[in-house]
Amino acid sequence: MSYPDASTANSGWGDIGSANCVTENTSRKFAPKAITMLQPVDGTNVDYKELQFEIRRYEANYNGTSGLHAHGNSIIETFRLTYTPTLTINSCKWSPDGLNISYTSDYHRDGNIITFSSDDIFKECRFTDQPYTGNVRIPQSALLRIPANGEKITIHSAIMSDIESSTSNRSVTISYVSSPSLTVSPKTIDDTDSYTTTVTFTPSTDDHVYLSYPGNLIECEGSNGNYIVTPPLNTECTIYVFTSNGSAWGMASVKKTMKGKVYV
């Protein structure tokens, strides 16, 4: 397409044997017209354009002969114009299954790579082939601690499409999925010889016990309401007990510091 008048005659070169656009004769060449983008690049209507320029050296009255025109060296370059997507986190809800993040992007293409992380809640989790709006779950096993209901956290996010990427930080408030409807009343019995704690409670259909201390969230071994926990010595820890039956669930936590001598 012709640069100045959008003509497609002679593959955009206009009249045969003549230039369709003449630049200024300076070290840096300037064209006399600007390019008009016919459609907006807004992530919804148009999110990607390619502009291809073919530039030729052109000389009129070649070798001093009037009416003789010549084309010299040429170069073709393609430039990509892309829309930079913005990822928005709609909600962040915790349940015994993990952290459920609802997101949307103003870049309306599917098949994206999306990553999330939060400084002291979970390390980077990567999700491939994602739609531009949807939900992902950070599994309980990937969490470093259990966030409190109503706690405000910062989530680092990134979206990478087939042609563009962007990153952002979002402050979100944690909410719990429904309200706990099961009552959990754990008891702890310390074994000072083995430096372990036995956690007992009335079991339900599905139970889990986690030991949490700075930078760690460890699932503990046990069954039928009887679990063995081995906390690090002389460190305040939190023991979380989850029990669920269908959509009903309950949670309780116990603070624990196991005293002991550390030999070096």
Q: What is the pLDDT of residue 41?
A: 59
237 within some domain: yes
CA distance 124 to 212: 19
First vs last C-alpha separation in the chain: 78
For residues 190, 191, 193, 195, the Cα torsion angle rounded to the nearest 10 degrees is -60
CA distance 172 to 155: 7
SS (H, E, C) 34-67: CCCCCCCECCCCECEEEEEEEEEEEECCHHHCCC
Among residues 21, 52, 82, which one ends one of the domains?
A: 82
pTM score above 0.75: no
Residue 204: both structure tokens together: 């339900």
Task: Tell whether 112 and 149 lie within a shared domain.
Answer: yes
The CATH code of the domain that includes 157 is 2.60.40
Output the CA–CA distances (angstroms, integers) from residue 150 to 94, 101, 104, 173, in the order listed. 10, 15, 22, 6
| 261 SS3 class | coil
- Asked if the model's pLDDT at residue 86 lies above 60, the reply is yes
* pLDDT, average across residues 135-150: 91
CA distance 114 to 130: 7
262 within some domain: no
3 within some domain: no
pLDDT in tens, 230-264: 999 889 999 999 898 888 888 888 998 988 776 55
Share above pLDDT 90 across residues of the chain, in percent, rounded to a whole number: 38
What pairing do the DSSP bridges indicate for beta strands 206-213 and 216-219? antiparallel
pLDDT in tens, 44-82: 677 777 877 777 777 777 788 887 877 778 888 998 888
223 within some domain: yes
Q: How many domains are there within the chain?
A: 3
- Asked if the model's pLDDT at residue 142 lies above 60, the reply is yes
Q: Residue 119's domain spans which residues?
A: 87-176
Residue 116: both structure tokens together: 């999330």
CA distance 35 to 12: 15
Task: Tell whether 77 and 93 lie within a shared domain.
Answer: no
Among residues 176, 202, 233, which one ends one of the domains?
A: 176
